[in-house]
Homo-oligomer: A and B are copies of this chain.
Amino acid sequence: MVTFKRLLLGRPLKSTELGEQKLNKKKALAILSSDALSSVAYGPEQILLVLITVGTAAFWYSLPIAAGVLILLLALILSYRQIIFAYPQGGGAYVVSKTNLGTYAGLVSGGSLLVDYILTVAVSVSAGTDAITSAFPALHEHTVAISIAFVVFITILNLRGVTESASILAYPVYLFVLALFIMIGVGLYNAVTGGVHGTVHVPLSTPMAGISLFLLLRAFASGSSALTGVEAISNAIPNFKAPAPNNASKTLIAMGILLAILFAGIVLLAYSYGIVPKAEETVVSQIAEMTFGRSFMYYFIQGTTALILILAANTGYSAFPLLAVNLAKDKFIPRMFTVRGDRLGYSNGIISLGILSILLIVAFKGQTEQLIPLYAVGVFIPFTLAQTGMMLKWLREKPEGWLPKLVINTIGAVICLVVTLMFFVTKFAQVWPVLVFLPCIVLLFHRIKKHYVAVGDQLRLTTCEPNVPIEGNVIVLPVSGITHVVEHSVDYAKSLKPDQIIAVYIPFERDEEAAFEKKWNQWRPDVRLVTLHSPYRSIIHPLSKFIDTVQRKANEAHYQVTVIIPQFIPKKGWHHLLHNQTSLMIRAYLLYRKDVIVTTVPYHLKK
């Protein structure tokens, strides 16, 4: 078992080795931006899909809409850069909202991001699997199994530690960026030199009759879904090498530039080539085919796209555990999320994320596309709250040069709010669950916090009632016969020199009673025996009633009652089935129902 765990995860790491587990900028960019970068594979298409409802003549609007998305991206990047420096301990939108807007806003941000990272993993792994099963239709019936295998693989990689997963996952990310750069470069050269003629080509600024502001905003909101994942870096600052905030900020800017170039390039090419979105072929695939034909480059672009869709899941694995640590430190989720595993990752967070996303994949049978709007709105709610929080921060603190900062965050907040509202207005049918689960999550967070606070109060020496002093001990010893095990328990009880030892025997038949008393008194006349006839053949009920009586008397004298229970430890696992587990049942019953101390005397069977 231990060897298998070693093989899977590698040797355990000392706490002092934490520094070596930090990320440099190149690796951080790869694993934290895969989610954002992968969205250029579907973001531009989303815009065209809205515009086509009016007609292909409306496609020129994709250019100003893309410009709008780029402005939003710029606002987000600048704004998150400010967040990184203002909150260098990480936690992103959760910490910003909590600090500036109060606990509830923080919990809404934190809860919606937590759910969102689960959705990220499920959605991106399913999308990547779809890309693979489209290429190899024979695999189609195994979609769910393949998706689960990918989640398990990414989970194990992350349990091995953040640097190790970064080393492996960096290659596909950079290959994807390289592939798209080549495509955009060659494609734009072709477009300018007139080497390619698309099917549709609409001159710019053709006025359109059917187009409305509503439609344009809807297209804009859809395109903005390409910006999910931008917040990941601000959550994961503690994973960066020192100086963490500087490195995180530089990484964020690099990601922004890459994202802007790829997004703008694809929109521009789609427009120049006059590409019309098709159900059976993605926009990127069409562009790649028109640029290179079905050559090696085409397949290279398709392959790296499929890979990065799957790896986008990894961003969730980097951000979720760190967000969970922040929530757990504030006692809103179970404490176990703050514990580092053998390889210094927050393994409980990683494992929970893996399990929850597998459950989502299974529940939706691998068809998670309908979750995309939900996922986008789950990002833009914390975006809006974080920007608003930053606005308030600048207004409140007014540090040097606060006005441009305020302007940036205000623009960001307004755009994010508009996008969020657009999702609710235009896609309410897919987005409404957020209105159900967010209040539930916030309520759950509160109940957990309440419990931890109550426990703390009950444990703290200064706030709790003082302990009653223990002035003596009474030991109750249930016995099932006169055996070696009972002898050992009696010897042990005597060695503790309690004020009283009471052996208890519970016969089911009246006639066993006298016989056993006689045998006992011959064997251990110095230990008092009580027999409790049990006509209904229950052990627990008469024992429980007897202990109540003993305890009532003991309490008066401030005596402590201890019940000593022998337990067989069989040599082989299956032997457990051959024993009645009475001792386990008695122990559990007494601990949960009574206020007695339970001592287990193990008896290790040798054969």
Contacts and interface: CB of A to CB of B under 8 A. Distances in A.
Contacts of A12: 536, 538
Interface stretch (A59-67, A100-108, A224-232, A455-463): A455-463
A190 interface: no
Contacts of A193: none
Nearest to A453: B607
B458 A578 contact: no
Nearest to A493: B470
Contact of A535 (B14, B537, B605): B14
Identify the 3 closest CB pairs spanning chains A and B, nearest first. Answer: A454-B607, A459-B483, A470-B495
B508 A15 contact: yes
A351 B61 CA distance: 71
B451 A464 contact: no
A484 interface: yes
Task: Determine which residue in A458, A485, A491 has the highest number of CB atoms from chain B within 10 A of its CB, and name it.
Answer: A458
Interface in A322-338: 334-336
A488 interface: yes
A396 interface: no
A370 B169 CA distance: 54
A340 B578 contact: no
B458 A606 contact: yes
A537 B537 CA distance: 47
A597 B601 contact: yes
Prevailing SS type, chain A contact patch = mixed
B508 A491 contact: no
Contacts of A473: 495-496
Task: Determine which residue in A12, A13, A451 has the highest number of CB atoms from chain B within 10 A of its CB, and name it.
Answer: A451
A473 B494 CA distance: 11
Given A454-B605, A600-B598, A601-B597, A484 B460 contact: yes
A602 B482 CA distance: 29
Contacts of A567: 591
A601 B599 CA distance: 9
B600 A591 contact: yes
B578 A591 contact: no
A560 B492 contact: yes
A491 B470 contact: yes
Contact of A578 (B15, B452, B598, B601): B452
A448 B537 CA distance: 25
A575 B568 CA distance: 30
A567 B464 CA distance: 17
A509 interface: yes
Interface in A408-465: 448, 451-452, 454-455, 457-461, 464
Given A15-B509, A335-B580, 14 more contacts: A15-B536, A15-B537, A448-B578, A451-B570, A455-B568, A458-B605, A459-B483, A460-B484, A461-B482, A467-B484, A467-B487, A473-B495, A473-B496, A596-B602
A399 interface: no
Contacts of A484: 458-461, 464, 467
Given A14-B536, A536-B12, A470 B497 contact: no
Nearest to A473: B495
Contacts of A597: 492, 599-602
Nearest to A597: B601
A4 interface: no
A516 to B, nearest CB: 15
